[in-house]
Amino acid sequence: MTFYGSDYDALEAFDPEIAGVLMSELDRLRGGLQLIASENLTSPEVLTAMGSVLSMKYAEGYPGRRYYGGCAEVDKAENLAIERCKALFGADHANVQPHSGASANQAVYGAFLKPGETLLAMSLPHGGHLTHGTKVSFSGKWFNAVHYGVDAETEDIDYDQVEALAKEHRPTVILAGGSAIPRLIDFERFRAIADEVGAIFWVDAAHFIGLVAGKAIPSPVPYADVVSFTTHKVLRGPRSGAIVCTEEHKAAIDKAVFPMMQGGPMMHVIAAKAVNFKECGTPEYAAYAKQVVDNASVLATTLGEHGIRPTTGGTDTHLSLHDLQGVGVSGKDAEARADAAGIVLNKNAIPNDPAPPSVASGIRVGTPCVTTQGMGTEEMKTIAGLIAKAVTEGDADPGHPVSQEVRAAVTDLVMRFPAYPR
């Protein structure tokens, strides 16, 4: 059945310019390899809920306690999202209203920190996130952020440094998680350090929560006071955020999301989150999450065999970070050369990067999208070879023979494993 919100022909008739953008974006997704570690290809079911009539309803407050009438239907959607989220992660409490990962984090700050108080988090250049106390973010302007990093030898989190900084600065909150951490995080160790100094232990699981949902890696939920996350990365839901926490912090989190930080919730996106949480409880999703990790591991190792060294020696998750210094190409050039050949990835700083962030000495690659397309470890070996060829022999010009040769191989791959099959 066609439903309001899914009528492409009507949009095209009224606004061909925007309809054209939608169609050419679909072509772009179908035509290349999406290796951005924070992206995924969400389901038509999730997209349907997002583009739906639930978008209109004002529903400030929480189910059964709204500031507007007419909320009976949206209450059902939010209650389903909350219950499914709690069940999926075994959490005491879930707040499904944050608009994004950054909004979820803002609420966690609002719940636990007063302006000027101290946060201990991973530094951005070592794999953290802008919202973890960087100077350009509200989090660095309003709070006293102290940062830990990775060990120079292992390139993984320096837990001894975390402990030493925690004892020295007595932070109100200790935060684990980031955007470029290829390895598992030792939540037990973080919990012990937080307990030693009486800090709240917060995990920003934005990147890897999908692997937790699919039981492919250990969960932070039994260890953390609060876990914030996005729903659109490996998790494969709508573009949004959520927070789970222990019973003890339930009231503080709910008050911080609304009314402290947000106004009316996006009920269409909350419904889409409910659909996504249901998907994540299926055996198919669990198999997907495991395949994402297997694929990332093979992609990282094979790139290493081509001289593009994975930091920490590999990955346990959906992403790997690669040092290009061995092949003498900058992250910026690698990104442009891959793009010219139909491979979308991003330049990324590596720990102790000698280059400025706008150039960077590394790239970050992730397997959520290509795994959604059904690719496996054999295809990862092929992709690693294509990346290596584009990066080391190619050019930012799509007309360059190497760009064209790699693009032809990319086209062959995406024809066999289409995104959004017709």
**42 binds ligand PLP per the rule CB under 6 A:** no
Q: How many CB atoms lie within 10 A of CB 1?
A: 3
We find the least distance from the C-beta atom of residue 265 to ligand PLP, in angstroms, to be 15
Stretch binding ligand PLP (CB under 6 A), from 147-155, 174-182, 304-312, 359-367:
174-182
Q: Which of 30, 86, 189, 239 is catalytic?
A: 239
Residue with tokens 């007309």: 399
- Tally of residues, the chain: 422
Measure the CA–CA gap between 250 and 257, rounded to whole angstroms.
Answer: 11
Residue number of the CB closest to ligand PLP reads 101
**206 binds ligand PLP per the rule CB under 6 A:** yes
Measure the CA–CA gap between 349 and 355, rounded to whole angstroms.
Answer: 8
Residue with tokens 């494969």: 236
Active site (annotated) includes residue 372: no
Q: Which of 183, 233, 309, 337 is catalytic?
A: 233
We find the least distance from the C-beta atom of residue 180 to ligand PLP, in angstroms, to be 9
Question: Residue 179 or 297: which CB sits closer to ligand PLP?
Answer: 179
Residue with tokens 């789970």: 244
Measure the CA–CA gap between 183 and 186, rounded to whole angstroms.
Answer: 9
Question: Residue 206 or 345: which CB sits closer to ligand PLP?
Answer: 206
Question: Residue 210's closest CA among 288, 305, 284, 141?
Answer: 288
Stretch binding ligand PLP (CB under 6 A), from 25-33, 199-207, 386-394, 398-406:
199-207
Q: Which of 134, 230, 302, 371 is catalytic?
A: 230
197: Cβ contacts below 8 Å, ≥ 6 apart: 166, 167, 170, 171, 174
Residue 223 backbone dihedrals phi, psi, to 5 degrees: -105, -30
Measure the CA–CA gap between 200 and 117, rounded to whole angstroms.
Answer: 12
85-104 positions binding ligand PLP, by CB under 6 A: 100-102
Is 382:351 a contact under the CB 8 Å cutoff?
A: no
247-286 footprint of ligand PLP as x/- string (CB under 6 A): ----------------------------------------
Measure the CA–CA gap between 36 and 264, rounded to whole angstroms.
Answer: 31
Active site (annotated) includes residue 309: no
Active site (annotated) includes residue 60: yes
Active site (annotated) includes residue 317: no
**133 binds ligand PLP per the rule CB under 6 A:** no
Active site (annotated) includes residue 230: yes
How many residues bind ligand PLP, per CB under 6 A? 15
Active site (annotated) includes residue 58: yes
State how beta strands 200-204 and 319-323 pair.
unpaired
H or E segment to which residue 66 belongs = strand 65-66
Q: Cis ω on the peptide bond leading into residue 259 (within 30° of 0)?
A: yes
Q: Which of 12, 60, 92, 186 is catalytic?
A: 60
Question: Residue 319 or 387: which CB sits closer to ligand PLP?
Answer: 319
Question: Residue 131 or 134: which CB sits closer to ligand PLP?
Answer: 131
Q: Which residues are annotated as a binding site for (6S)-5,6,7,8-tetrahydrofolate?
A: 124, 128-130
Active site residues per annotation = 58, 60, 204, 230, 233, 239
Residues near ligand PLP (CB under 6 A) are: 38, 100-102, 105, 129, 131, 177-179, 204, 206-207, 230, 241
